[in-house]
Chain A
Amino acid sequence: MKKLINDPRHYVDEALEGLCLAFPGYRKSGRVIGRAAGPQQGNVGVVTGGGFGHLPLFAGYVGKGMLGACAVGEVFAGPPVDVCAQAIHAADGGAGVVCVLGNYGGDRMSFAQACEEFADEGGTTATVIVADDVASAPAAECAKRRGVAGMTFAFKTAGAAADAGASLDDVKRIAKHTADRTRSIGVALSPCFIPGAAQPGFAVPDGEIELGMGIHGEPGIARLALPNADDVVQAMTERLLDDRERQGGRVALLVNSLGATSLEELLILYRATAKLLAEADIEIGLRYVGHYATSMEMAGCSLSIVELDDEIERLLKRPTECPFWPR
């Protein structure tokens, strides 16, 4: 696999250093990305953390109006407890910190430990787990689902609420409310390589796609002969809509590239998705198309929907200085 990198051991740090040089709103301290301006004093901080290789997820969503700080691990491996604790401190403006995390065992355990230590020091935290990937477990076991691209919606609403001065309980409630109303599904066409690794972590045979594959190449629910884009969207949208309790309604739609899939393809997928949602009498209130949660050069896409209400819509629209969220 050809990659434009230097020593694979410096992959994460060099990318994060570049992030901070290219966008002056970020500040790197060890493996924590925080805001250059520091936490907003008197406001709740929102933090997350996770493995690397998914930019703009997770660290890219730090910025006024979104996350206060992010703990960064290694490629596809979560951050250690100390880094999680540093991220919590970096986001602390004295009004408590809400951790919004994807549903991954390592991240949950590390942040739980870091929150406990922060509490011992007199700090206050709350944690919300996002589990939006409908392919990773049936609705009856939705707590087992993984967190994927739909996490960004909870980052945005929680961050916007915190920016507006909401209390810890309120920011937590909004993050949970958003997470509960978010559903995603992904499809992978070709794998990604961890820098320095000779082999990809998984393979998708030529001419096939894997429906429901996770952002680290976790197995999906079906391997299909590669149909055309409209059929892929049909298969994905069916899963998303089958999982909803409601009919019709108004959603925000995210059509996300896993890395290698082009904007042209995303727009073809958006076109098909918009048509199917219209047929299901679902109005698209807000739309997002591009790279939001990736797996380096993995080819594929994910579709995420969040059921809008006035509160979520207002918070999604609230301006943020994060360079990876549209104005």
Chain B
Amino acid sequence: MSEALTTADIAAAVRRMHACSDAMRDDLNAADRVLGDGDTGMTVASILGAWALAIQTPSSDVGTMLQQLGRETRRATGSSLGSVMAIGLIAAGKAVATPAVDRSAIAAMLDAAADAISERSGASAGDKTILDSVLAVRAAVASEANVTDAAARSLDDFRPREARIGRARMYGAKSAGHDDPGMLAALLLLRAAQS
């Protein structure tokens, strides 16, 4: 990503993600049936539905747009994953200080998102949640690596580990060997955005 991120880029990414919604829903439901109640796919599909509607109204700038998507996320679902995504989007949107959103601005947005998610949800780095995906993407942005590859690697790295927070924590050692549904959602969304 050499040029600046624009609202048009985000709208196009949302459209691509929404186009993959059905396939994502089934994969995420399947992952969540192992460590949860099997509805992560429904949650993400309803969020994508809300985003697809929201982008029909143009936003003035990236920061406003991300906050709007965050509010739509909150309206679409009360699930933990949805809340975490909303918190991250709103914090990221608020962190946009300049009209041109370049690499360093994106890094600052991801920092703000990670801090807000950690503060609000109580999750820490290494707990095997979507926060770990955000941190991996943040590191990839800093080192100019591919963000989707980074999310995939982080999913692989965490798969053998035990979940330390939330509902998956109850599965203890049984959670090892399974993908965290939130981390998988992060990867599938990034992959779809770049499809």
A interface with B by C-beta (< 8 Å)? 49, 51, 71, 73-74, 76-84, 104-107, 109-110, 112-113, 136, 144, 194, 197, 199, 201, 214, 216-219
Contact = CB atoms under 8 A, between A and B. Distances in A.
A79 B78 CA distance: 4
Given A77-B43, A77-B77, A80-B76, A106 B170 contact: no
B194 interface: no
Nearest to A79: B78
Contact of B80 (A82, A84, A106): A106
B148 interface: no
Most chain A CB within 10 A, of B43, B79, B120, is at: B79
- 5 closest A-B pairs by CB: A78-B78, A109-B83, A106-B80, A105-B80, A81-B74
A110 B75 CA distance: 10
B167 A78 contact: no
Contact of B78 (A80, A112, A218): A80
Contact of B170 (A104, A110, A197, A219): A219
9 contacts: A73-B78, A78-B78, A83-B78, A105-B80, A109-B80, A110-B74, A194-B39, A201-B37, A216-B167
Nearest to B77: A80
Contacts of B122: 105
Given A83-B78, A109-B87, A77 B170 contact: no
B75 A80 contact: yes
Contact of B83 (A106, A144, A194): A106
Of A51, A81, A82, most B-chain CB atoms within 10 Å: A81
A201 B33 contact: yes
B83 A105 contact: yes
B99 interface: no
A192 to B, nearest CB: 10
Interface in B3-36: 33
B166 interface: yes
B39 A77 contact: yes
A78 B76 CA distance: 11
B64 interface: no
A246 to B, nearest CB: 28
A82 B169 CA distance: 28
B86 interface: yes
B84 interface: yes
Nearest to B174: A219
Given A201-B37, A219-B171, A109 B121 contact: yes
B78 A106 contact: yes
A194 B29 CA distance: 13
Interface string B165-187: 11101110010000000000000
Contacts of A199: 33, 38
A136 B37 contact: no
A28 B38 CA distance: 28
Contacts of A197: 38
A197 B87 CA distance: 30
Contact of A109 (B75, B84, B174): B84
B112 to A, nearest CB: 16
Interface string B60-88: 00000000000000111111111110110
Given A112-B120, A218-B170, A219-B174, A106 B79 contact: yes
Given A76-B39, A109-B84, A201-B37, 15 more contacts: A49-B78, A74-B78, A81-B74, A82-B75, A84-B78, A105-B121, A105-B165, A106-B80, A106-B81, A109-B121, A113-B74, A144-B169, A194-B37, A201-B33, A218-B170
